[in-house]
A and B are shown apart, each in its own frame.
Chain A
């Protein structure tokens, strides 16, 4: 599963990446995580607040660190 985290490097963006990584490992799912820091790419997804989470080219979450439950739901 391809997951992209959109964020210019603020603290919340970093913890989003860590959180997804940890939940995926716990759930035994293999994901490829990519952190997108380039502003042009970030805005090309139409998000207005970071961090944003993109799965399969679709924005599924913006503006906060996702909760464990949200991440588990995405991984299903």
Chain B
């Protein structure tokens, strides 16, 4: 990864130039976004295949979705980067400290959406919250919603599947985080933390707080640009792979097959989707193009939502990181409770739609 920084080079760029630069960018973005279909058709026409053939369909799908997803990601990640510069883990901790369960769970799940989070700092964040007296269940609400309801997932769902599904995912992702956190809190499992974490919890070695820095609006823009760079470095390969697989499904998988194995009539499809999703390690960027293609082939919405939530919210690498602070029993409860919540969402949707 490159460590060159653009920011120190232009400390004298006046603020108005930044503001107008952002405006120009948004206008250019909008103009380009409206040219995506002609672009995809033109790219497809360069290949020596029938446009209406399976291969032609798959190629057109690929060249339409890749630029579309990349553009949506750029815009939404930038906006979320700016929004997130208003929220720091330290501020989240201050907001959550002393909150009761219930209200605390709702706040924690909501803050999980806007607080900067990366699974590599899940442990210091966990400790920071627990040591400040945030109840365990409230901390879990945060830890569930932060990776699951993220801007990458919402941007991709919005762009590929439509705003209704994006909104549904958002609402039920929050719902699962709130309820699962609350249930874990009710179980009173503080004793199942690792010993050293329990000592901090009891206030024995409470770490000192760190004061954050003040930011100007231009700093926040930079924060957004940095977020775009970082997310792209991390997810571009997953997007290509995901859309490639989506394109194959779109072009080649027969309609009836998906409707049969992932349709609403197959009761076992929801638990199967959740179970397959847990060990799968990809992120929203990789899984949502597949989701889009599956939905297009007649898979049931609930089954697909359950699959997606389980892939994103319950990942093996994150469990391994959390193993440093949680005992295996507590991790098992965590997976069990969140998994059940996702199951419920899956069945509910298959039943409703």
Residues of A near any B CB (own CB < 8 A): 7-13, 15, 18-19, 22, 39-40, 42-50, 59, 62-65, 67-69
1/0 contact string of B1-34 vs chain A (CB within 8 Å) = 1010101100100000000000000000000000
B side interface size, CB within 8 A: 34
Asked if B207 lies at the interface with its beta carbon under 8 angstroms from chain A, I say: yes
Residues on A with beta carbons closer than 8 Å to the beta carbon of B129: 48
A-B CB contact pairs (8 Å), 11 listed:
A7-B120, A8-B121, A8-B123, A12-B230, A43-B127, A46-B209, A48-B90, A48-B93, A48-B127, A48-B210, A65-B5
Instruction: Pick the contact of B118: A10, A39, A46, A68 (CB < 8 A).
Output: A10
Q: Are B123 and A68 in contact (CB under 8 A)?
A: no
B118-132 interface (Cβ within 8 A of A): 118, 120-121, 123-125, 127-129, 131
Residue of A nearest to B93 (CB): A48
Known: A10-B118, A48-B210, A64-B226. 11 other contacts (CB 8 A): A39-B124, A39-B325, A44-B205, A44-B207, A47-B124, A47-B128, A49-B89, A49-B118, A59-B210, A63-B88, A65-B3
Residues on B with beta carbons closer than 8 Å to the beta carbon of A43: 123-124, 127-128, 131, 200, 207
Residues on A with beta carbons closer than 8 Å to the beta carbon of B116: 49, 63
1/0 contact string of B309-338 vs chain A (CB within 8 Å) = 000000000000100110000000000000
A-B interface, 10 closest residue pairs, ranked by CB to CB distance from nearest: A46-B207, A48-B128, A10-B120, A48-B89, A43-B127, A15-B3, A49-B121, A50-B121, A68-B8, A46-B208
Residues on A with beta carbons closer than 8 Å to the beta carbon of B325: 39
B74-92 interface (Cβ within 8 A of A): 88-90
Q: Are A69 and B11 in contact (CB under 8 A)?
A: yes
Q: CA A45 – CA B129 in complex, angstroms? A: 14
| Main secondary structure on B side of the interface with A | helix
Q: Are A69 and B128 in contact (CB under 8 A)?
A: no
Q: Are B1 and A48 in contact (CB under 8 A)?
A: no
Asked if B196 lies at the interface with its beta carbon under 8 angstroms from chain A, I say: yes
Instruction: Pick the contact of A67: B8, B124, B131 (CB < 8 A).
Output: B8
Residue of B nearest to A6 (CB): B124
Q: Are B3 and A48 in contact (CB under 8 A)?
A: no
Residue of B nearest to A66 (CB): B5
Residue of A nearest to B90 (CB): A48
Residues on A with beta carbons closer than 8 Å to the beta carbon of B88: 49, 63
Residue of A nearest to B123 (CB): A39
Q: CA A62 – CA B128 in complex, angstroms? A: 13
Most buried by A among B1, B124, B205: B124
Residues on B with beta carbons closer than 8 Å to the beta carbon of A68: 5, 8
Q: CA A18 – CA B123 in complex, angstroms? A: 23
CB distance from A8 to the nearest CB of B (A): 6
Q: Are B205 and A48 in contact (CB under 8 A)?
A: no
Q: CA A43 – CA B324 in complex, angstroms? A: 12
B95-137 interface (Cβ within 8 A of A): 116, 118, 120-121, 123-125, 127-129, 131
Residues on B with beta carbons closer than 8 Å to the beta carbon of A7: 120
Residues on B with beta carbons closer than 8 Å to the beta carbon of A45: 207-208, 210
Q: Are B210 and A46 in contact (CB under 8 A)?
A: yes
CB distance from B166 to the nearest CB of A (A): 27
Q: CA A76 – CA B125 in complex, angstroms? A: 31
Residues on A with beta carbons closer than 8 Å to the beta carbon of B120: 7-10, 12-13, 50
CB distance from A18 to the nearest CB of B (A): 6
Residue of B nearest to A49 (CB): B121
